[in-house]
Amino acid sequence: MSLSSISYPAGLGATSDGLALVIMDLWGCVHDGITAYPAALDALAQLKASKIPVALVSNAPRRTEVLKPRLRQLGIADDLYAGIYTSGEMIWQHLATRSDPAYAALGRKVYAIVADHDRPFFDGLGLTVTETIGEADFVLAIGVADEFVTLRNFESVLATALARKLPLLCANPDLVVHRGGIAEICAGAIAEEYARMGGQVLIEGKPYPGIYKKVIADFGITDTKTVLGVGDALRTDVAGAAGIGARSLFLAGGIHQADLLREKTIDRAVLDHLTLQVPRPTYALPYLAW
């Protein structure tokens, strides 16, 4: 099999010719959950000056109305992007409208895997959040409280859900996130384990096509080769961009940093190896910078 070569530009600006839209990941690219990266903010400002719109597309398990104020707190101003899309918003809309048959078939009692600060997610959905898995019609995995929670915490819940043949909805396809440099599991790790056990999983966000179709339609894109997907995850950001025929810029300093960075330089041999069986990025940088 012939493998495409990965280009290593000096910065995002070197990839900007002919771009009609940038689909930008957030966590690990623009911020680390605590602090925004100055070079990334400059890159967003340069895209704005170049009149290239940016769609922030995140696997955050939250509604966009919740995420926007948080971005402002991090110093990511509203005028640095033209649209914002989250996996959490996709799940919320599906549960609210029930227009998709898979979601229409769900009951109204949900067992939630959720941190306390994310419980407002259920507002307006008309759901009853049950205290035990035995009462639930389905499971919704939103996220965990902190880095001390592991998959072992959910062994009993998932086993009971599987025995009852309950579908599990996942509001964040990511497997892990680094909050200020500390790793914690995401809802995607729980969904992956449930699927491995044989359970039914409904999932939204990157790399799945639903969220990309919405972005492309909203921005009126007719040629996806004029789109650049930027992100730090091979299995979501790079694969998602490849899935719509877009170019991709992979940032090695995010979730793959331990494998790929050697004194802030990408180990190209390791990146070649990591991308033998998955879509290869068009470009790669250590961190987002113009």
- For the chain, domains (ranges, CATH) are 12-59+206-285 (3.40.50.1000), 100-203 (3.40.50.1000)
- Token output for 143: 């996220």
User: Rg for the chain (alpha carbons), in Å?
Assistant: 19
Question: How far apart are the C-alpha atoms of 162 and 195, rounded to whole Å?
Answer: 10
Question: How far apart are the C-alpha atoms of 107 and 97, rounded to whole Å?
Answer: 13
Q: Is the pLDDT of residue 1 over 50?
A: no
pTM of the model: 0.91
Q: What is the pLDDT of residue 94?
A: 97
Model confidence pLDDT, tens digit, residues 56-71? 999 999 999 999 999 9
Model confidence pLDDT, tens digit, residues 243-270? 999 999 999 999 899 999 999 999 999 9
Model confidence pLDDT, tens digit, residues 96-147? 999 999 999 999 999 999 999 999 999 999 999 999 999 999 999 999 988 8
Write down the residue that tokens 């509203």 correspond to: 78
Q: Which residues are registered as beta bridge partners of 55?
A: 23, 83
Closest by CA position to 129, among listed 139, 117, 144: 139
> pLDDT band at 184, cuts 50/70/90?
confident
Model confidence pLDDT, tens digit, residues 206-246? 999 999 999 999 999 999 999 999 999 999 999 999 999 99
Closest by CA position to 250, among listed 224, 226, 268: 268
Three-state DSSP class for residue 146: coil
Q: Give strand ranges (E) for the chain.
A: 21-24, 54-58, 83-86, 109-113, 128-130, 138-141, 168-170, 176-179, 182-185, 201-203, 227-231, 247-251, 261-262, 265-266, 283-285
